[in-house]
Chains A and B, each alone.
Chain A
């Protein structure tokens, strides 16, 4: 469905482009000479063993981590600036411009515990997008309705289950209308019976919106359902990538086969 959309754009400018990116934590090189592109509207799932660099890719995109070498461009904007300084090699204003295009859903939800659900969702639209409170609340209620939690808008995070909190987190991220939404192991911290409700929300996002989505997950069946492309990571590199059907049924690389055998 969405594949047709991406294929219809001939050699179009990718929305995200990693070019020979190197990311080190001290002496440990997590991403080495990393190349990766994502087309607009594409849904990409990153799979692989822990420590392979998948989450790091998301965190770099979200400007939570700087990278040491290489180039990263999002929608025509380069992360590094020629005049930039500091670990991000860009000033705060530039970083904020980039950030306005990206949203992220975290493994540990990271809802603001001292704010109601509604306030969690309207905080950034009011403070950053400059929306009037009434308008922001209207939008928020709509989004909360979409994730099935409109009736909980005045509750506080501590009163919600993990699955409910994560759904609020998704609504909160959507409220900022990002071009790219990143999911960093969104269900890994949930009790098994709560995983389904969150995956359901992510599934409907994938099918109904032309949002570009990058998903890091261990839920392989789910990855197969929603992705346009699956990338298998190992030791900071993409070992193999392609359509989910092919990757899961007939992987070409031995490492991919090994990994899939161990998790499926």
Chain B
């Protein structure tokens, strides 16, 4: 029994059906971790993107180096680093939070690149027109540039959201009890690993297909020239 649900190993189908509720609870943890990690990635990515655009070399360069470093090192090792090193400096966080931060940091390297590409894709003429009309930099960003960058940015962010979802199982190694963690637990107790793992795989597949469809709809719904302002 886990979480009060017992399993029925009489047949593969019965087994699968009986462990579904257990995996369902793990699914919630998976989704929560993805959501938390993604929020961090979006915010941190924005900060990194802005820092990287700074006209001061002393800020732009180290930021670019940091982004590259985060992007080229494995999530698992970054996770271990945070999990074991933070307590050394007196910061003890729940495993879930550490996991979300690790996901957020790793993906912020990707989201910062998405923001950068989105901003760069706005035609130079738009910036020049804003200068010609003497709009302030802030106003130019908020009403001219960002609304035009969004249709390009959102689908890309959506794809990274799906990727992050698929990487959350890594958190199971630092005691976050997600779907994979539970599947392994069930397997440890029943010596029957394939059914739980297959089921988890199937759930991921369904989630991925749903999210991809959602992103396509979003892409179609967004006006290509930018968020309309009246």
**Is there direct touching of A and B in the complex, by C-beta distance under 8 Å?**
yes
- In the bound complex, residues from chain A placing their C-beta under 8 Å from that of B148 are 113-114
Q: Which residue of A lies closest to B137 (CB)?
A: A92
Find out whether the CB atom of B143 lies under 8 angstroms from the CB atom of A127.
Answer: yes
Residues B132 and A123 in contact, CB atoms below 8 Å apart: no
A127 touches B139 (CB 8 A): yes
Which residues on B sit within 8 Å (CB–CB) of A106?
A: 125, 128-129, 132
Report the separation of the CA atoms of residues A63 and B127 in the bound assembly, to the nearest whole angstrom: 12
Closest beta carbon of chain B to A32's beta carbon, Å: 24
For B123, list chain A residues within 8 Å (CB). 110
Q: In the complex, what's the smallest C-beta–C-beta distance from B128 to chain A, in angstroms? A: 6
Q: How many A-B residue pairs have CB under 8 A?
A: 76
Binary B-proximity of A96-122 (CB < 8 A = 1, otherwise 0):
100110111010101111111001000
Are A114 and B229 in contact, CB atoms less than 8 angstroms apart?
yes
In the complex, A119 Cα to B143 Cα: how many Å? 11
Residues 162-191 of chain A, each 1 if its beta carbon lies under 8 Å from chain B, else 0: 000000000011001000000000000000
Q: How far is the CB of A180 from chain B (nearest CB, A)?
A: 11
Pairwise interchain contact B135-A128, C-beta atoms closer than 8 A: yes
B225 vs chain A, min Cβ distance (A) = 4
Determine the chain B residues whose CB is within 8 A of the CB of A104 once the complex forms: 128, 132
Given A99-B134, A128-B133: A114 and B147 within 8 A (CB)?
A: yes
24 interchain pairs (CB within 8 A)?
A: A62-B131, A63-B131, A64-B128, A64-B131, A92-B137, A99-B131, A99-B134, A104-B132, A106-B125, A106-B128, A106-B129, A110-B128, A110-B132, A112-B129, A113-B225, A114-B225, A115-B228, A115-B229, A116-B228, A124-B134, A124-B135, A127-B135, A127-B139, A176-B134
